[in-house]
Amino acid sequence: MPKINVNVKWSGKKFDNIELDTDESPELFKTQIYSQTGVPPERQKIMVKGGILKDTTDLNQLGLKDGHTFMMMGTAGELPKPPPKPVQFLEDMTEAEVMEALDIPPGLENLGNTCYMNATLQCLRVMPELQQSLEKYQGGLSGVDNRGNLVASLRDLFTNLSKASDGFPPLVFWQMLRQAFPQFSQTGQGGIPMQQDAEECWSEIISVLRAKLPKQEEDKNFIERYMTGELKTVTKCAESSEEEETVSTDAFNKLSCHISINTNYMISGIMESMTEEIEKHSPTLNRTAKYQRKSLVSRLPQYLPVQFIRFFWKPQEQVRAKILRKVKFPLEFDATELCTPELQNKLSKAKLKMKEVEDKKIQKQREEKRRKLDGEDGSSSMDVSTEEEKIDWKEYLDPDLVKDVGCNPTGQYELCAVLTHVGRSADSGHYIAWVKKDTNEWYKFDDDKVSVLQDGEIERLDGGGDWHTAYIVLYRAKKLE
């Protein structure tokens, strides 16, 4: 059934022309209402024939027509307590003062189903080295090189975002993206741009940056240094022990996490994708035979994207359907299990030292908490654990990895961005970016609406239902303190 526009009446107010896709779940519709009214989905009571709209209701069975008006009950939340001191109200501030006071960066305006592009750009912007590399790009927007124009427009967009105080319209970049990759120019009924796949947008942008960003030391650019890893692949014939195995080394810009009925954790999905069985001609047997290909990481980049393979083609429905299975991903990721024995050996010493440092931090936090509970004055304590340990990491890092600028010399990562999708197919739904702010806070970039959340909200993005589900996660190498 086509999308329709409906209205919602709530608390004496009317919200018109809310888009409702009857092929999607009611939870997605409730999320849209939440963005308009501030009433969380779990508090919404939407009246329909037969009672209250449930998350399991099939919207196609309600016989809804364009212009239908829903009645809704629900509260937006508890009223805040009066402030203890006089404050300056946000409405009395300028836009720049509001953004500065709340420490919230600008979002990107949706130009018509461009959330896939906006979410991708906000995730890529978390890498300061990329922005520094873009600033060195000398190309302009007047040339006939469409891909060069795309890089120049990305440079200018990031520059404008650093100065903006409110939602910014990425018009020039969108135009350059469609010129470089015409598939993003597809339109639907009424000439409205069609929803696109954020992973495809991500991959196309990375491919252009890899080809166009200026080279630095050893004739490599940002993508080649900081976002490119290496896989060592061993291919062995399963039907002939006499046939010699073959070894190859290939570059990668992201890892894949396959999702099967047994996949519960990201690491297992990645390992499954790195082992596969193929059939090809065997020179030893002189016939088609089965081979096993197993890959291990021989170089870890500083920035490691992981794509969850959530979409698959359903030929009967002619749609790229979505796997909703819950797959947990960690806020901190030890990637050494994915590596070759040689690389594991190089990473081991620094890995153990980092764990020792982390354990000491946890112990210190526990001691400080205990002292507060016991009413002790921490400032008078002579506990030597309060002194910061200065570590000479040269003693623990492998010399070869130190020379390899842009690699991860410890194998330890922290999550810095998540690109999510909500909806049942790749051709519909909505994309959002979640970007790390500091120790336990995150920015949620829902196009031009930006808010601050806690770690707990990020852990809810692992799937298992119709809520926002991680599609691409971006890890960065942990800093050495």
Closest residue by Cα to residue 152 from 111, 180, 110, 112: 180
Q: How far is CA 98 from CA 103, 160, 387, 439, in A?
A: 8, 18, 38, 23
Which structure tokens are listed for 246?
A: 């073959």
Q: Cα(176)–Cα(50) distance, rounded to whole angstroms? A: 50
Closest residue by Cα to residue 119 from 477, 476, 472: 472
Per DSSP, the three-state class of 193 is strand
131 phi and psi angles, rounded to 5 deg: -65, -40
| Under 8 Å between Cβ of 303 and 475 | yes
| Under 8 Å between Cβ of 21 and 428 | yes
Q: Cα(248)–Cα(236) distance, rounded to whole angstroms? A: 12
| Under 8 Å between Cβ of 339 and 297 | yes
Q: ∠ CA 469-470-471 to the nearest 5 degrees? A: 110
| Under 8 Å between Cβ of 154 and 213 | no
Provide the β-strand partners of residue 51. 48
Provide the β-strand partners of residue 470. 420
Q: Cα(306)–Cα(268) distance, rounded to whole angstroms? A: 12
Q: Cα(234)–Cα(250) distance, rounded to whole angstroms? A: 11
Q: Cα(55)–Cα(27) distance, rounded to whole angstroms? A: 6
Residue corresponding to tokens 């009967």:
316
Catalytic residue among 258, 421, 430, 468: 430
Q: Cα(343)–Cα(297) distance, rounded to whole angstroms? A: 8
Q: Cα(410)–Cα(412) distance, rounded to whole angstroms? A: 5
Q: Cα(54)–Cα(413) distance, rounded to whole angstroms? A: 40
Residue 281 appears among annotated catalytic residues: no
| Residues contacting 149, CB < 8 A, separation 6+ | 139, 141, 143, 176, 179, 180
Catalytic residue among 115, 237, 257, 407: 115
Q: Per-residue b/e over 318-355, b at no fewer than 16 CB within 10 Å?
A: ebeebbebebebeeebbbbebbbeebbebbeebbebbe
Residue 237 appears among annotated catalytic residues: no
> Mind telling me the catalytic residues?
115, 430
